[in-house]
Structure 1
Amino acid sequence: MNIQQAIQAAVDGVDLDQDQAADAMRSIMSGDATPAQFGAFVTALRMKGETPYEIAGMASVMREVSLHIDTESDMVDTCGTGGSGLNWFNISTASAFVVAGAGVPVAKHGNRAMSGSSGSADVLETLGVDITLGPEGVKNCFAEAGIGFMFAQAFHPAMKFAGPLRPQIGIRTIFNFLGPLTNPAGATR
């Protein structure tokens, strides 16, 4: 299914199956979808209501095209969904420090604020953390401190096509759900 067919299906209120959603995501991640098509697709999905199959299909493609970190322990991620539009305190980052301080390894995955006042990357950067580390650097942080931060823009390079468009759309989209589901270290908790 191409992106135009996926847009039409969503506009018509038809749920995509996992493979169709994955095809649409491949168009977005490869840059084949235009900015207008991206906006139309995520808005139509939001209006229709995203299904678990659509979320799973798009998350699978996002994981396929992201950088990965192999870890030796079962990591926890405190990635938030963002997109509330409210200027709330960034609790996901604060909780990552609490969890790591309790001895539980944390693979923190996050981004800059898309709405609201502070994303995880904004908070950590203000604290002097180098948010641009690649897989080896983050792996060293896991080993030394029990916590590492994976900046979404660095670990999901294919998001360069969608990332700048998200704030322009101005609404919560399926991408708010995808962050917590696509941890580059494979965190399952």
Structure 2
Amino acid sequence: MPLALQAFTTPSNTLVIADTSAPPPPLPTPAVLTTPATPFIDGNNAYIWSPNNASGQTVTFQTDFIIPGLPIGVALGLSAFYAFAANETATVTANLQIVNNLGIVILDIPLFTASNGGNPENVVSASGDALLAAGILDGNTARIRVDATVTAPVTLPYEPANTGRYLGEIIVRDIVGIG
């Protein structure tokens, strides 16, 4: 199974789409890098968070991982593996989407859902498989969209050094590609 994609959550591919501490109305907004933290994922500790920091806030991130290789003429099988960590409760869901050149989602396939159960010390992994059928046209984009809802720790008094943290890594393997 050749590697089709390996990427991390970054401010360039991740938006904050909900934030209990955000002043109205300027969402979505890009995520920002936070103070380096642990655990590492594949040697990376470039955690992200909302531009706002508050004790116990809940933030929802939306990350788009673009999969190269379109168009395809017959079939493409994908196996996606996602590892993530956060310093409080984190729940992720992912869908494989095909988006046409007008920005309209024309195919939306659920891949996985997972949670870290509130354990800030662990890296949690999730995975899913999908098969794209014939006729994915040139000009379309294949992406995996990961939505993650993360809650920051509650600290009294709140310490800015203890902001929320979230880090995710996707690995996509190409199972069968006939073009």
How does the TM-score come out when normalised to structure 2? 0.26
Higher relative contact order (CA 8 A, sep 6+): 2
Structure having the higher strand fraction is 2
Structure having the higher helix fraction is 1
